[in-house]
Amino acid sequence: MSNRERVWHKYLSERDKWLEDESFFNKKPVNFGMKPALLLIDNYVAGLGDKALPLKESSKTYPLSCGLEGWAAVAQQKRLLDLCREMNILIVHTNIDVAANSPLLFYNAIRTHPTKRTMKPDPNAPYAHDSKRAYDFTPDLAPIDEEVVILKSGASAFYGTPLAGVLTRFRVDTLLVCGESTSGCVRATVVDASMLLYHTIVVEECVYDRTEASHAINLYDMDQKYAAVKGIEEVLGWLKSGTAQTG
Measured between alpha carbons, how far is 106 from 119 in angstroms, rounded to an integer? 5
pLDDT at 1: 36
Higher pLDDT, 42 or 20: 42
Which residues are tagged catalytic?
185
Q: Residue 180 forms beta bridges with which residues?
A: 208
pLDDT at 133: 80
Torsion of CA 63, 67, 72, 77, to 10 degrees: -10
Cα angle vertex 51, ends 62, 144, to 5°?
A: 100
pLDDT at 79: 98
Residue ranges per domain, the chain? 9-98+136-240, 100-134
Q: How far is CA 211 from CA 70, 95, 246, in A?
A: 11, 21, 35
Instruction: For residue range 220-237, list pLDDT tens digits in order.
Output: 999 999 999 999 999 999
3-state helix, strand, coil in the chain (%, to 5): 45, 15, 40
Strand blocks (E) in the chain: 36-41, 90-96, 148-152, 174-180, 199-208, 228-230
**CATH topology (fold) of 9-98+136-240:** Rossmann fold (3.40.50)
Q: How far is CA 168 from CA 54, 97, 192, 218, in A?
A: 40, 23, 15, 27
Instruction: For residue range 28-57, list pLDDT tens digits in order.
Output: 678 999 999 999 999 999 999 999 999 999
Neighbouring residues of 138: CB distance < 8 A, sequence distance ≥ 6: 43, 44, 45, 48, 74
The count of residues in the chain is: 247
Instruction: For residue range 166-187, list pLDDT tens digits in order.
Output: 999 999 999 999 999 999 999 9
pTM of the model: 0.88
Q: Give me the chain's average pLDDT, please.
A: 88
- How large is the C-alpha radius of gyration of the chain? 18
